[in-house]
Amino acid sequence: MRSKESILDGMNIVDFLMRCKIDFKFFCERVLGITEDGGIHPFQMEWFYLIQNNDRVCIQAPSGFSKTTIFIAYSIWLAWNYRNKNILIISKSMPQSRRILGIIKDYIEDNELLLELKPKDFQNTWSSNDLKTTSKCRIYCRPYSINIKGERVDFMLLDEADSYEDTTIFFDHLISRMNPGGKIALISTPEGPTRLLGQIKSRDKGDYVFKTYVAIVDEFGNPKKEPYEEGFSIWPERFPIEDLMERRRLQGEQFFQKNYMCNILTESEDTIFSMKSILNCYNEDYKFNEDIDPEAQYFIGADFAISKGPRADYDAFVVIEKKDDKYIIKNIEIHKGWPRPKKIDRLKELYNTYSSNRQTKIIADESNIGTIFINDLKILGCTVIAQNFHSIARKQLIQTLANVIEGEALIIPRNKNDLNAIKLTDELTRQLLGFKRKKMEETSSERLLSKHSHDDIAMSLAMAIKGAIKQKSNKVSVAMSN
């Protein structure tokens, strides 16, 4: 156990405690003993000030740069300096949550000064994921799930927030747990624009402070551009430039950029849809809408579900407007478990809603029972084009859509007031990024495969785009190669 005498190191207890209250770095290094690898660095102090001075904070930071450690230290600092506060640390899994609380307990129990936080009845107030202190504070850790409901929180710290799968839990169950005046801080190495930090940014109306940190900076402290080896590590004691360059060699550029430069736009060689190109198609001025431009044409892609069960695809309908070599997504909708008449009625309704004197067409998947739906729609007076999904045709659809997106000819609505558009275009983005190229060893040919659990929205969009393309545009090549 670290003794009070060694912690104070001759300093007056009153002055020491006052210094701990106003100096987080001093508290971490002197009380917690976080001194290895140079102790607390300026970038870690910036995290502390961001959380202290703002109610809503999102921090992107490199992998291995003590994000969890700072959350742990901050929680103990809060319990040491405040009273009657509920401090919740959220992690991806239950084992991770218990590990974090175990570290907090070890800090307290192995420290003669911090031991004052441990109540006499700790057997009744401490558990594997919950503890109460003599300052009437409660520090507890929970995995990211809907089971968080019922809690009341003053400080909510979300560790590696971009690793969480179901982002709706944050908006539905976590934000509602905050006490008035409570703080939320999320920290993570970024995983992609459709993950939690990206979704918060898409919806944000000035409530959150966003800050990104990179491992290598220039002489002015700005993110370093190539050549990285001439830059400066923000944590040279633990990650010298030579070590970072070795990690770059071992990981490859894509994973190095994500993990250490917080750059999610670098693509792997097998990527079909470029992340950068997709994001360039995002437009915050547009919402989903039913407005009809008399000079435009409208195309509805319809991909029908062919199986049942939790992993089955949805019926996906995507409406686009074509005008002046631009393709605007007007609407996306997905449905699960709909009977045949309901699907037909909805497509007929969409056809009527987006009826144009110039042209309105439904492009529908004819595979499996799709031919039956197509005949039903034709009987109702809809103009319908059948699309088969054989491997060559599917490849042409995907490649044509990739060319349109690469040429930034697609407009993807991302207005922050249209949460339905944000949600569905997030899913569209995930599906697009799931498509990869794969060389077939037996034939040496190339196939385009989806590694995402669903591809229904992407394929509906691809069908609508194909239906809209009549000739080569001056702005984007739409050549369909085999």
**Which CATH number, 2.30.140.10, 1.10.10.10, 3.90.1150.10, 3.30.420.240, labels domain 277-468?**
3.30.420.240
CA distance linking residue 461 with residue 387, whole number of Å? 12
Give the mean pLDDT of the chain: 91
Closest CA to 450 of 313, 337, 333: 313
- Token reading at 45: 């102090």
Q: Give the N- to C-terminal CA distance of the chain in Å, as an integer.
A: 69
Residue 440 scores a pLDDT above 80:
no
Ramachandran angles phi, psi of 156, nearest 5°: -115, 115
Residue 200 scores a pLDDT above 90:
yes
State pLDDT tens for residues 387-418. 988 888 889 999 999 999 999 999 999 999 99
Q: Name residue 365's beta-bridge partners.
A: 387
Domain with CATH 3.40.50.300 in the chain: 4-213
CA distance linking residue 6 with residue 393, whole number of Å? 74
Residue 480 scores a pLDDT above 60:
no
Mean pLDDT of 256-263: 95
User: Are the C-beta atoms of residues 146 and 165 closer than 8 Å to each other?
Assistant: no
Mean pLDDT of 343-364: 96
User: Are the C-beta atoms of residues 139 and 75 closer than 8 Å to each other?
Assistant: yes
Query: 4-213 has which fold?
Result: Rossmann fold (3.40.50)
Least confident of 186-195, 259-268, 277-286: 259-268
Ramachandran angles phi, psi of 299, nearest 5°: -135, 135
